[in-house]
C-alpha cells in the first residue's frame, strides 16, 4: 500500500464526513421550516484494482438524498389560507420569474394584488371557474393561473337553483274552469295558495317571483310563477307581458300525499337581456290534510357584495365568502405528483422540479387517484428529527477525526521516508 494512497483515502473520508455534516447542519437549521424535507448523505466505496501482494486503497464517495416523499406532522393554525397536504402530492406554485415548480410549503397569505403567496414568495396556482367547471389538463401545466383573492371587487351572484317545499291542503276547493287558472293570466284568476320568492338577476337586483298553487282536479295542482314587477297596479292579475316565467303540473298519490310527478321541479325563465334560468326543486311537496304550510324556501344568488374571506375545501375548491354570507367557487387547486418524488431536484425556497429520474409531473384533483387531501388552516412541519440529527453529527465528527488521524499518520510516515536518505 502506498503512503500517498493512504493519505488520499483519509482525505476522501474527511470530505465524505464533511458532506454528511453539511446535510446535518442544513437539517438542523431548517427544523422549523414549513414543508422542509430532510437531506441525508449516502456513502459508496471506491475500489481500486490491486496487484498481488500489494493493496491499493480506494476511498469513499457520497450521494445526497432528500426524503421528499416522507410527510411531516401537521400543525394547525388560525389562518384559513394556510394549506397542508395530508397524503401524497405537491402544490403547484409559480416563482417570481414565472416558472412553475412544486412545493409542500403552504403558508400562503394574500399579497397586495390578492395573490396567495407563501413565505418564500411563490404564488399558488390553480384552475379558474371563469369559463365554467374546470378540469385537469392531462399533458402539462397549461391552464393554471395564480389563485387571486380580490378584496375590492363587488360581485353579484345571479340565482340559478332553489328549493320550495310546502304542504298543499288536500281539502282545497277545485278550480275547474281553465280560464280561471292563474296560467290564463285573467283578472278572474283563482288560486288555492300563494307565496313569493326573492331571486337575484345578473346585476344583483332583487327580482320577486309570485308563486301560485291552484287545485285543478282531484290530486292535481297547477304551479304558475310570474314576475311580481309585471303585476297590474293595486292588484296582481293580469300580469304584464301576458306570459308566465314558469309553470308545472303536480300530481299527488292519494294514498300517501306524495308527488308522482316527473320531473319534480319547475324551470323559471326570466326574460333578459340576458335571460336567466332558475331551477326550483319541488320534489318534497306534499298534499296532506293540513293547511297550506311552507316548510322550506331557498334560492341561491346574492346582491352585490365584497369578498370577506375565502374557504378552501378538501377537494381543492376555493370559495369566495362574501359579506352577505354567499359562497361562490372561484378557483380549484390541483395536486401534482411524480412517479419518484425523492429523485426530484431541490431548489432554494423549499421547492422541487422534476428530473428525468423522477418522471414527469402528473396533475389531478385532491382525494383522487391516490392523491392526498388539502387541509385548510394547517401547515406541514419539516420531517427533521433533531435527536437523530444530533446523533448523526456526533458520528460524523468521530469519523472525521479518525480519518484525519489516518492522514496524519500517513504524513508522519512520509516524513520518515523522505528523511531516510539524509
At 15-34, the pLDDT tens digits run 999 999 999 999 999 999 99
Let me know: does 279 contact 287? Beta carbons within 8 Å.
Answer: no
Q: How confident is the model at residue 355, as a pLDDT?
A: 93
Cα dihedral 325, 331, 332, 334 sign: negative
Concatenating the DSSP letter of every residue in 291-346 gives: --EEEEEEE--EEEEEEEEEEE-TTSEEEEEETTS-EEEEEE--EEE-S-GGGSEE
Top pLDDT among 187 and 234 is at 187
Taking Cα atoms as reference points, which of 250, 283, 247, 285 lies closest to residue 268?
247
Query: Chain-centre distance of CA 360, in angstroms?
Result: 21
Q: pLDDT > 70: what percent of the chain?
A: 97
How large is the angle between the packed helices 386-419 and 3-29, nearest 10 degrees? 160
Q: How confident is the model at residue 411, as a pLDDT?
A: 82
Of the pLDDT bands very low, low, confident and very high (cuts 50, 70, 90), residue 3 is confident
Cell numbers for 175, please give them.
278550480
The answer to whether residue 138 scores a pLDDT higher than 90 is no
The answer to whether residue 1 scores a pLDDT higher than 60 is no
pTM to 2 decimals? 0.70
Candidate from 2-11, 308-317, 343-352 with smallest mean pLDDT? 2-11
Q: How confident is the model at residue 406, as a pLDDT?
A: 87
| Residue 228 DSSP symbol | G
Question: In whole angstroms, what is the distance from residue 244 CA to residue 225 CA?
Answer: 6
Q: What DSSP element (H or E) covers 65? A: strand 59-66
> Mean of the pLDDT values across residues 130-140?
86
Q: How confident is the model at residue 328, as a pLDDT?
A: 84
Q: Which domains are present in the chain?
A: 3-67+383-419 (no CATH), 77-155+306-379 (no CATH), 159-300 (2.60.98.20)
Amino acid at each position: 500500500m502506498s503512503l500517498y494512497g493512504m493519505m488520499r483515502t483519509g482525505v476522501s473520508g474527511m470530505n465524505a464526513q464533511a458532506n454528511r455534516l453539511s446535510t446535518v447542519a442544513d437539517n438542523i437549521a431548517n427544523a422549523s421550516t414549513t414543508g422542509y424535507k430532510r437531506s441525508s448523505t449516502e456513502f459508496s466505496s471506491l475500489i481500486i484494482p490491486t496487484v498481488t501482494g500489494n493493496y491499493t486503497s480506494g476511498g469513499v464517495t457520497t450521494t445526497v438524498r432528500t426524503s421528499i416523499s416522507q410527510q411531516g406532522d401537521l400543525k394547525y393554525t388560525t389562518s384559513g389560507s394556510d394549506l397542508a397536504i395530508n397524503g401524497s402530492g405537491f402544490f403547484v406554485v409559480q416563482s417570481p420569474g414565472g416558472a412553475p415548480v412544486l412545493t409542500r410549503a403552504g403558508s400562503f397569505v394574500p399579497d397586495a394584488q390578492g395573490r396567495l403567496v407563501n413565505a418564500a414568495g411563490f404564488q399558488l396556482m390553480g384552475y379558474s371557474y371563469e369559463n365554467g367547471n374546470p378540469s385537469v389538463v392531462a399533458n402539462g401545466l397549461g391552464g393554471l393561473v395564480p389563485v387571486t383573492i380580490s378584496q375590492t371587487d363587488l360581485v353579484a351572484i345571479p340565482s340559478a337553483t332553489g328549493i320550495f317545499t310546502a304542504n298543499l291542503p288536500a281539502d282545497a276547493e277545485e278550480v275547474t274552469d281553465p280560464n280561471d287558472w292563474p296560467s290564463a293570466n285573467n283578472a278572474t284568476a283563482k288560486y288555492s295558495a300563494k307565496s313569493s320568492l326573492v331571486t337575484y338577476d345578473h346585476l344583483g337586483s332583487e327580482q320577486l317571483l309570485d308563486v301560485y298553487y291552484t287545485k285543478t282536479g282531484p290530486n292535481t295542482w297547477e304551479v304558475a310563477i310570474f314576475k311580481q314587477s309585471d303585476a297590474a297596479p293595486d292588484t296582481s292579475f293580469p300580469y304584464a307581458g301576458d306570459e308566465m316565467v314558469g309553470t308545472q303540473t303536480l300530481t299527488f298519490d292519494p294514498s300517501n300525499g306524495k308527488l308522482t310527478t316527473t320531473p319534480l321541479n319547475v324551470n323559471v325563465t326570466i326574460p333578459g337581456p340576458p335571460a336567466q334560468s332558475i331551477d326550483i326543486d319541488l320534489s318534497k311537496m306534499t298534499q296532506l290534510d293540513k293547511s297550506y304550510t311552507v316548510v322550506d324556501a331557498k334560492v341561491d344568488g346574492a346582491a352585490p357584495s365584497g369578498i370577506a374571506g375565502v374557504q378552501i375545501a378538501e377537494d381543492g375548491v376555493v370559495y369566495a365568502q362574501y359579506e352577505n354570507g354567499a359562497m361562490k367557487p372561484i378557483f380549484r387547486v390541483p395536486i401534482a405528483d411524480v412517479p419518484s418524488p425523492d429523485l426530484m431536484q431541490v431548489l432554494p425556497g423549499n421547492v422541487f422540479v422534476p428530473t428525468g429520474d423522477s418522471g414527469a409531473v402528473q396533475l389531478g384533483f385532491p382525494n383522487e387517484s391516490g392523491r392526498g387531501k388539502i387541509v385548510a388552516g394547517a401547515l406541514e412541519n419539516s420531517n427533521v428529527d433533531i435527536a437523530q440529527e444530533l446523533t448523526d453529527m456526533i458520528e460524523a465528527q468521530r469519523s472525521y477525526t479518525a480519518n484525519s488521524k489516518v492522514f496524519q499518520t500517513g504524513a508522519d510516515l512520509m516524513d520518515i521516508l523522505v528523511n531516510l536518505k539524509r
